Structures are given as structure tokens and as C-alpha cells.
Structure 1
């Protein structure tokens, strides 16, 4: 088969991936709703109402005090990770009840009701709001993460752009490398033809 025909065939094979690459690249320039989609939710902090004194455990690498709508919290980090302690008894602080968790999350999302709405349902330490945003709470570190409809849509754009089309990681990696190899070949063969070389 002649190089020109091979070049044309490879170009046809790359047509769909190339369209996918170029159209999704537009998104990376515009980035609509990107800020809201990947916002790092913060537990709302209140001024400390009490002076807390204690003798720190030698195994602690870090200690943080905070006060939220649920009261005082002591977060400590050791070699195993974060622990959430009662600020006065220094015992592990029990996970919040459903109503307490709802109160904590609604307080954290009050700054953007248009996106988050209010908590609609709870399952363990995860809530779903009436706008379809899923919010997870890590009680040990007192942190939150959120994942909404636009987050899922943007994640899908990333998958299309990076040729993660099947959901099978190894296959998608080979598929992506094969596509890059064909693209390099297209560039090489096209340059040779442009220069009048066989």
C-alpha cells in the first residue's frame, strides 16, 4: 500500500478521536461552571467560646481546635492519621446524628443556595441536596467534599478528552498510546509528503 493511502487511512481512523480532542479542548479554555463544580466546601468556623487547656499526647503530630454549630472540636493527627476528639474529655467524639449532620452541612452550604439548595436525604455521612449535589463528610478530619451534576459532566469531558472511553483502565491506556502513535505517524508521513519525499 502506498504511503499516501496509508496516510489517508490513518487520518480516517483518527477522525473521531481528533474531533473529541479538539471539541473538548474548547472546554478547557472556557471552563464553564468549573469553580462551583470543584469548590472545596469548608465547615463553617465560629469564634471559640471557651479556653481549653490540656496536656497533649506525645504521639500527636498536630492539634487543631475549632467550634462549629455542633460545638467545640479537637482534631489531632498522629502517625495513623486524623482523630476527632471531644475537646474537654479527650475521648473520641461520636459521629453526629442525622439532624446534627444536616445542621452542619446546611451551615456549610448556606453561602450558595442556588447551587447547593438544602439537604434532602442522608445516608451515613453522605447527604444529597435538593439540587442533586452529593456532599460527603469526613468526621475524623472534619472536612467535606462535594460532587454535583456539573462535576459529573466535567469529569465526563475529561474522560473523553483523555480517551478514557471504555472504563477499563488498561485498555484505555493502550488505546490512548495507540492513538498518539498514529498521530505521530500522521505528522511524520505528512511532513515527508509535503517535502516531496517518499
Structure 2
């Protein structure tokens, strides 16, 4: 049977890498350097409504928003099971923007921010900027999301901190639970050795 002090040393050695990861990433999470830019909210710019519309909501509509952007008016409708992006004048699905219209919408949203630079490529409703930031448009909800290399780095640090090392959800969960069990065992063994010495 392995003695407590030897088991304590073995578990301590196993936890060297996780402990280093927890300590370094924990310090970064506490200070949060670069978090503001990495998770900056990129909002579509809206303008006062130009026209007055008489909209008769349908019985299953739960929430209705009418907004005006550089691309014109948008009617956003939520029902119990879906979200719709309609043209206010016809109440039919509003077609996604063309590449040029998408670029215009993005440039309007950038509002002179240094984070985004110029748009270098567009793929559907996703764009890449000269600063390496990827921007996606959720057309149904008329929302933008952005992520850059700094966002990817911070997300990687979270994976290191929470022992998500394999990329497989179930395996990573097992790894996390094992890490907590070993940490608890290390604490219990440490207390036990301390009490033995005192006795």
C-alpha cells in the first residue's frame, strides 16, 4: 500500500501542469488585459424612421421591432418558435444584403474604430478585416458579432484553465472532474500528513 507522503508527492507531480495552468490563467482572468476590445460589442447603427407604417400584427407575434439602418427599414418579429426579418411594406422575408450592402452596413457600424481597419474579404454574411477580425451578421436578428486573434487567445486560456485539452466534450468533462478529485485528494493528504506530524 502506498504511504500518504508518497501518494501526496505523486499527486503533486501529476498536478504540476494543471496547477501552472490554473495559476497563470487565473491571474490573467483577474487582471483581464485586452478583454474590452476582444469582446467589444459591435452594434448596427440605426437611424430615425423615415416613413410611418401601419402594421397589423398577427396573432402569433410576441415581439415586434421596427428599425431603420443604412439599408432601409427592417421589421423584426418574434413568435413562440422562430424569429423573422420582414420587409415592413410587404411583410415578406427581407432578402439578405448583397456584398456591397453588407460592406456598407459594416462600415457604418465601425464608426471609425481602429479595431477593424478595412474589409478585405466577404463570404456570405461573414467578413474578414485587415486587422484579422472576423465579423458575422445574424440577419434574422439583425445583429453583428466579432472575434479577433485576441478573442481566440482568451478563449484558449479558458480551455486551458478548465482542462478542456482534448477537444472532446465528454473527455474534457472527465478530465476536469479528475483534476478536481486530485486537487481535493492532495489537500486531504496534506492535512493528514500535517496532523500525523503534530501527533
Q: TM-score, normalised by structure 2?
A: 0.95
Distance in 2 (CA, whole Å) between partners of 1:9 and 1:155 is: 30
Q: Deviations over 1:2-27 (max 9, x none)?
A: 21111111111111110111011011
What is the aligned partner in structure 2 of residue 30 from structure 1?
31
Match of 2:180 in 1: 180
Report the 3-state secondary structure (helix = DSSP H, G, I; strand = E; otherwise coil) of the residue aligned with 1:195.
helix
Alpha-carbon offset, residue 92 of structure 1: 1.2
Unaligned runs of 5+ in 1: none
> Does the residue aligned with 2:151 lie in a helix, a strand or coil?
helix
Match of 1:167? Answer: 167
Equivalent residue, structure 2, for 1:21: 22
TM-superposed CA distance for 1:118, in Å, is 2.2
- Segments of 5+ residues of structure 2 without an aligned counterpart are none
CA distance in 1, matches of 2:178, 2:55: 60
The alpha-carbon deviation at position 111 of structure 1 amounts to 4.3
State the partner residue of 2:104.
Answer: 103
Other-structure match for 1:40: 41
Distance 1:138 1:37 in 2: 19
Output the CA distance in 2 between the equivalents of 1:127 and 1:20: 33
TM-score (norm 1): 0.95
Corresponding position of 2:71:
70
The corresponding residue for 1:88 is 89
Q: Once the two structures are superposed, what CA deviation does each residue of 1:138-176 show, in whole Å capped at 9, x if it has no partner?
A: 111111111111000000000000000111111111111
* CA deviation profile, 1:22-71 (whole Å, cap 9, x unmatched): 01101111101111111222110111111111212222111111111011
SS in 2 for 1:56: coil
Q: Which runs of 4+ in 1 moved over 4 A?
A: none
- The count of corresponding residues between Structure 1 and Structure 2 is 197
CA RMSD of aligned residues (A): 1.3
Corresponding residue of 2:53: 52
